[in-house]
Amino acid sequence: MRSEALYDYAIIRVVPRVERGEQMNVGVIVSAVDADYLEARIDDDLSRLLVLDPTLDLDTVYAALATIPAVCAGGPGAGPLGDLPARGRFRWLVSPRSTVVQMSPVHTGRGDARAALERLYDTMVRRPGPPTTR
């Protein structure tokens, strides 16, 4: 892939109680059309969501989030969406919804999409380490 390719990305969010509007970033999805690249990275520990809603069914959230990498990969494992080209799958994934799992608006960047996925995950999703003492 060219190092200066354009890519689009969205932040994957969980909104436990849609009516309250509280949300937590739990993943990132990146698409680079010229490289036929579509990949998502999702946090594997969602227990912090219980701070927003202690009654949240985490198993249901994990199941909903598991569909995202499957759709990114395409093929039979993604159901009928798996037949779409990568760009079509990205558009479907980032389309607005009013469910517990939502996407941020789509943003565009320039550079290596794989590196962007890691950088965005680190800055937008990964929990910071424990505070340092002075």
Which residue type sits at 59?
D
Q: Which domain holds residue 13?
A: 6-124
| pLDDT top residue among 82 and 1 | 82
Q: Is residue 100 part of a domain?
A: yes
> Which is more confidently placed, 61 or 130?
61
Half-sphere exposure of 80 (CA within 13 A, CB side): 1
CA–CA separation, 50 and 108 (whole Å): 31
- Let me know if residue 133 belongs to a domain: no
Question: What pLDDT does residue 131 have?
Answer: 58
Q: Where does the chain have alpha helices with state H?
A: 58-73, 86-94, 113-124
In a domain? residue 131:
no
Mean pLDDT for all residues in the chain: 91
Distance (Å, whole) CA 67 – CA 89 = 12
- Tokens coding 55: 């009654």
How many distinct structural domains can be found in the chain? 1
pLDDT at 3: 54
Q: Cβ(29)–Cβ(122) under 8 Å?
A: no
Q: In whole angstroms, give the CA distance from residue 14 to residue 22.
A: 9
Kindly state whether residue 29 falls inside one of the protein's structural domains. Answer: yes
Q: Does 1 reside within a domain?
A: no
pTM score above 0.75: yes
130 within a domain of the structure (yes/no): no
pLDDT of 1 above 60: no
| CA separation for the pair 68, 99 (Å, rounded) | 14
73 within a domain of the structure (yes/no): yes
Domain assignment present for residue 132? The answer is: no
Asked whether the predicted pLDDT for residue 2 surpasses 60, the reply is no
